[in-house]
Amino acid sequence: MQTEVLRIIEGGLMSDKRKILAYSARLADRLEREGDIALSKCIRQKIEEGMPQNAAIADAMRVLPLDADSRLQIVEVIPTDEERHKVVLTPEVDKKVSEFIEIVNHRSELELAGVEIKKTLLLYGRPGCGKTSVAHYISEKTGLPLIVARLDGIVSSLLGSTAKNLRRIFDYARSVPCILFLDEFDAIAKARDDQHELGELKRVINSLLQNIDSMSPETVMIAATNHAELLDNAIWRRFVQTVEIGLPGKNEIMEMLDIFSEPFSSEVSTDLSKKSAFAKLAEGISPSDLKTIFDRAKVKCVLGNSKKISMGDILDGVYEVKVQDKSERAYVHFLNEYGMSQIAINKSTGIGLRKIKTYLATNEMEEAK
């Protein structure tokens, strides 16, 4: 509650009506949750009274920042109540993410105690492992909406207006309770290889750094990138927390199998030894690819009027993504590695038993050499 009160006072001193209204609404929500219905109602009434005379400001709260030339929106607001998939993280990553959530959730106590800590988090790692999902998860756990600014879109054409757009985005994030989420953060650094003039780009990077530096302490910012190696040291230093989100381990894959199977059942989610064997096989596949494999198998389920995901469909999906060699022999070896018996392979693929035996025997001979 202290946070909201402090922000309302700041809004008043700076004559920032948008800020006052936004944080008063938040205060009313919080009081209602905590059972102080009378005060909450009273605040809501004040907000309503304040709105009509100031329709322009009420509008401004709804109007998002636009690109000056194209008039396109440069941010997207994702409310916190959106239903999301559960994100599965390794224990080390989970610990770091939870720490960040704790800091954000206790920001007013920290501020009152005089502890100044910037709430800036950089998520990096290969695509499809959950960076964007983690940002949504943090939004859910902190109750702060995400203001998503995709830098690839912002940097796309005119660097001249990039600096202006950055300013508008940071100004907007300052005036409403939110998490500013800069996705595809490397776009700024990447523009260096493009046709843009180096000096112009330097100015944009400087403007980004200035915006970050002049952020008020209460602003929560998360950035995500697939190309951490492209980021300047100066940018790295601006982030108090940096977390690499890499490929999941076997335990995480096992957990994902249950989530991705829902609402259907599958052999891999009901039989523990099969689940474990499958998780080993799926190591090295990104969660995003794994999800696609399950989604495709589910489509077949629905079209085939079945309630159970076919193991064969899932194995085919993994084989498609993971194994380069697409020969029949490689396929038989792949299924055998997963633990399927020769008879089971014969049944599921229709390949003759003798052929299967020969394929598997050649490998044993090669290994024996």
Ligand X SMILES: Nc1ncnc2c1ncn2[C@@H]1O[C@H](COP(=O)(O)OP(=O)(O)O)[C@@H](O)[C@H]1O
> How far, in Å, CA of 4 to CA of 133, rounded?
27
Q: How far apart are the first and last CA of the chain?
A: 72
What is the closest distance, in whole angstroms, from the C-beta atom of residue 116 to ligand X in the complex? 30
Q: Which is nearer to Mg ion, 7 or 131 (CB)?
A: 131
Closest residue to Mg ion: CB criterion: 132
Q: How many CB atoms are closer than 10 A to CB 232?
A: 14
What is the closest distance, in whole angstroms, from the C-beta atom of residue 260 to ligand X in the complex? 8
- Exposed/middle/buried for 224, CB within 10 Å: 0-12, 13-18, 19+? buried
Q: Which is nearer to Mg ion, 292 or 349 (CB)?
A: 292
> How far, in Å, CA of 316 to CA of 334, rounded?
10
Q: Which is nearer to ligand X, 20 or 256 (CB)?
A: 256
| Strand 76-78, strand 119-124: pairing | unpaired
* Cβ(286)–Cβ(88) below 8 Å: no
Q: Which is nearer to Mg ion, 40 or 132 (CB)?
A: 132
What is the closest distance, in whole angstroms, from the C-beta atom of residue 262 to ligand X in the complex? 12
Closest by CA to 291, choosing from 327, 324, 321, is 321
What is the closest distance, in whole angstroms, from the C-beta atom of residue 103 to ligand X in the complex? 21
What is the closest distance, in whole angstroms, from the C-beta atom of residue 218 to Mg ion in the complex? 25
| Number of alpha helices (DSSP H) and beta strands (DSSP E) in the chain | 20, 8
Q: Which is nearer to Mg ion, 17 or 131 (CB)?
A: 131
* Cβ(334)–Cβ(325) below 8 Å: no
What is the closest distance, in whole angstroms, from the C-beta atom of residue 123 to ligand X in the complex? 8
Token pair belonging to 232: 């300047």
Q: Which is nearer to ligand X, 22 or 314 (CB)?
A: 314
Q: Which is nearer to Mg ion, 76 or 200 (CB)?
A: 76
What is the closest distance, in whole angstroms, from the C-beta atom of residue 146 to ligand X in the complex? 13
> How far, in Å, CA of 57 to CA of 52, rounded?
9
Give the residues lining the site for ligand X (CB under 6 A): 85, 87-89, 127-133, 224, 256, 287-288, 291
Pick what 87 binds: Mg ion, ligand X, none; C-beta below 5 to 8 Å, kind-dependent: ligand X
> How far, in Å, CA of 326 to CA of 345, rounded?
16
Pick what 342 binds: ligand X, Mg ion, none; C-beta below 5 to 8 Å, kind-dependent: none
Pick what 88 binds: ligand X, Mg ion, none; C-beta below 5 to 8 Å, kind-dependent: ligand X
Please tell me what DSSP assigns to residue 82.
-
What is the closest distance, in whole angstroms, from the C-beta atom of residue 285 to ligand X in the complex? 11
DSSP characters over 250-275: HHHHHHHHHHHHTTSEEHHHH-HHHH
Please tell me what DSSP assigns to residue 248.
-
Q: Which is nearer to ligand X, 132 or 261 (CB)?
A: 132
Closest by CA to 109, choosing from 254, 241, 3, is 3
> How far, in Å, CA of 295 to CA of 289, rounded?
10
What is the closest distance, in whole angstroms, from the C-beta atom of residue 214 to ligand X in the complex? 28
Q: Which is nearer to ligand X, 30 or 126 (CB)?
A: 126
Pick what 288 binds: ligand X, Mg ion, none; C-beta below 5 to 8 Å, kind-dependent: ligand X
Pick what 128 binds: Mg ion, ligand X, none; C-beta below 5 to 8 Å, kind-dependent: ligand X
Give the residues lining the site for Mg ion (CB under 5 A): 131-132
Token pair belonging to 280: 């080993």
> How far, in Å, CA of 139 to CA of 133, rounded?
10
Pick what 133 binds: Mg ion, ligand X, none; C-beta below 5 to 8 Å, kind-dependent: ligand X
